[in-house]
Amino acid sequence: MSEFNEFPRVIVLTSDKTLWSVQPLINQWQMYAPGIPLDVFGYTEPIDPYFMQGETFHSIGKFENYPVKKWSNGVIEALQSIDDDLVLVMMDDYWMVRNVDQDAISMAREYMETYPDIIRFDLTTDRLGDKHHDVESVGHYDIIQGDKGASYNFSMQASIYRRKLMLEMLVPDEDPWEAELRGNVRLNASPYRVVGTRQWPMRYIIAVNKGVLMLDGSWCVPPRKLSEHDIRNLYDMGMIPEGVKQA
């Protein structure tokens, strides 16, 4: 039995334009992180009862009230609607490509509970690509910390966030790119820390690049891809609708 057993609430952010990508995400999540529920936060609720495949959908409001320049408003609304201290935040096109390391994620949550100045625990290898330093080891996990001044200390890559501190970094009326870039400046000026691990708790393809479906993973850094079996299953089950622009 694992010494780590606390898994954070997992929230997925979507929009009416990208809602179609939620079904493939759920399919891959249920395959590679079985038994861990998802809370999807979006706008127009899917009519098809099968669409959510047993997961939960939360409507933030009317999609037309949240144009791209108000993207951050929707995230703020979603985070303010829950009261969890720590939440695992994902986007709707993060489709898993292999088993999620649930022990690592439970460890990350426990680590954040020990150190209240940590705003974010990166669950990818994003921190390895920028300025960072080693902190310590927990079990067989190597903890690293992003240096002040590093790029994307504030990021929407899959991470456990301390919800109230994440809300401090978000301001209304920013698009996704502004929220990350300006949010990073705000975070680097704050006393809060961002940590990660040299291991890779969650490995996923970022399936959509500038509105185009790219299943070969060639644009991701480092590159990663869905297996041919997973791709075939998604098409066979009709989870990639006709009309989606593909590379």
CA 210 and chain centroid, separation? 17
Contact residues for 7 (Cβ-Cβ < 8 A; gap 6+) = 36, 102, 105, 106, 109
Task: State the pLDDT at residue 246.
Answer: 86
Q: What is the mean pLDDT of residues 160-172?
A: 98
Q: What is the mean pLDDT of residues 115-127?
A: 94
Task: State the pLDDT at residue 221.
Answer: 75
Task: State the pLDDT at residue 65.
Answer: 96
Q: What is the mean pLDDT of residues 169-187?
A: 97
Evaluate if pTM is beyond 0.85: yes
Residue 196 and residue 135 in contact, taking contact as beta carbons nearer than 8 Å: no
Summarize pLDDT for 40-68 with one digit per residue, the tens.
999 999 999 899 999 999 999 999 999 99
Q: What is the mean pLDDT of residues 110-127?
A: 95
Domain ranges for the chain, please list them: 9-236
Residue 163 and residue 84 in contact, taking contact as beta carbons nearer than 8 Å: yes
pLDDT class for 183, splitting at 50, 70, 90?
very high
Q: How far apart are CA 118 and CA 125, in angstroms?
A: 17
Selecting from 3.10.620, 3.30.70, 3.90.550, 3.40.390, what CATH number does the domain 9-236 have? 3.90.550
Contact residues for 104 (Cβ-Cβ < 8 A; gap 6+) = 4, 123, 141, 197, 199, 201
The pair of structure tokens assigned to 165 is: 């501190």
User: What are φ and ψ of residue 107, in 5° steps?
Assistant: -60, -45
Q: How far apart are CA 218 and CA 205, in angstroms?
A: 9
Q: What is the mean pLDDT of residues 165-192?
A: 97
Task: State the pLDDT at residue 2.
Answer: 45
pLDDT class for 3, splitting at 50, 70, 90?
very low
Task: State the pLDDT at residue 5.
Answer: 57
Mean residue pLDDT of the chain comes to 93
Summarize pLDDT for 200-239 with one digit per residue, the tens.
999 999 999 888 998 887 777 777 888 999 999 999 999 9
Which secondary structure element, helix H or strand E, spans residue 41, and what is its range? strand 38-42
Residue 123 and residue 230 in contact, taking contact as beta carbons nearer than 8 Å: no
